[in-house]
Amino acid sequence: MAKVAFIGLGVMGYPMAGHLKVKGGHEVAVYNRTFAKAEKWAAEFGGTAFRTPAEAAKDADFVFTCVGNDDDLRSVTTASDGVIEGMKPGATLIDNTTASAEVARELDAACKAKGLHFIDAPVSGGQAGAENGVLTVMCGGEEAAFEKARPVIDAYARMVGRMGEAGAGQLAKMVNQICVAGVVQGLAEAIHFGKQAGLDMEAVIEVISKGAAGSWQMDNRHKTMIAGKYDFGFAIDWMRKDLDIVLSEARRNGAKLPTTALIDQFYGDVQDMGGNRWDTSSLLARLERK
């Protein structure tokens, strides 16, 4: 059992922290910007709620962060009451936020200056993956620190892998989001085409999902897409934040992402339709609008 702190109890962090307590058997302290939510978590799982990130991180062997973006991450890590200020020498900061590779490298340097370890560990699998403890975790950081942290991360993951040095986890998550955007757009167009052609798309999907066209998105989203329901997971606002990180990194490294850039614009169209909180499969709604 380890002493663990978890910072950020959103739709992902809340169940992830719960798995660290229940499945991992760790002693867990929590912090959330809305203190009432931290208190709720502590009452539900038997942990301890704190009013600042630094207080939650004190004496922890591993400190997890899962917040919104780069700025949120800096506010809970490098600010005067951030976790780095409260962490003991030799402890490890594990960041589950989907953020830039640049901020990951910043935090790695800040941790090293304080005698701490850092792992950028963005996750894939959405809210359902977090709730069921079956997330995929892409990690960047020193190998020794990763191997020490891996058994703790396993509490909320089904797959954990080290991609390289600090920042590599975030870059791998960018690769993941490029793939997801392309697959969802392809599935949206396929369902739209099939419906326009008068096909029974349930019957079509049942057949083609067993062939080369099959994917997680097809298995898990085709029914809700056909029904025109888009309240099942990762919101468009979050996806656009992620794709902005992807496209910014591509401008830095020279990668050409014409399809990803176009799909990002399509998601912007869905936002204009009022679909900010619809899940990413709502690209179909854009094709079906009158």
Where do the domains of the chain lie?
Answer: 3-164, 171-288
Tell me the mean pLDDT in the region 171-193: 98
Q: What single DSSP character describes residue 87?
A: P
pLDDT in tens, 99-155: 999 999 999 999 999 999 999 999 999 899 999 999 999 999 999 999 999 999 999
Place domain 3-164 in its CATH homologous superfamily.
Answer: NAD(P)-binding Rossmann-like Domain (3.40.50.720)
Q: What pLDDT is stored for residue 233 in this prediction? A: 81
| Percent of the chain topping pLDDT 90 | 97
Q: Using alpha carbons only, how large is the chain's radius of gyration in Å?
A: 20
Integer Cα distance of 284 and 276 in angstroms: 14
Predicted TM-score (pTM) of this structure: 0.95
Query: Average pLDDT of the chain?
Result: 97
> pLDDT tier at 290 (50, 70, 90 boundaries)?
confident
DSSP character for 49?
A: E
Kindly report, residue by residue over 64-96, the tens digit of the pLDDT: 999 999 999 999 999 999 999 999 999 999 999
Distance CA 140, CA 119 (A): 5
**What separation in angstroms does the CA of 264 have from each of 71, 194, 278?**
22, 24, 15
Q: Which two tokens stand for residue 78?
A: 């490098």
- The distance between the two most distant Cα atoms of the chain, rounded to a whole number of Å, is 65
pLDDT at res. 1: 87
Of 26, 30, 50, nearest to 41 (Cα)?
30
What is the CATH topology of the domain spanning 171-288? N-(1-d-carboxylethyl)-l-norvaline Dehydrogenase; domain 2 (1.10.1040)
Cα separation, 7 vs 210, in Å, equals 41
What contacts 107, CB < 8 A, 6 or more positions away? 73, 77, 78, 84, 93, 95, 118, 120, 166
Q: Catalytic residue positions?
A: 173
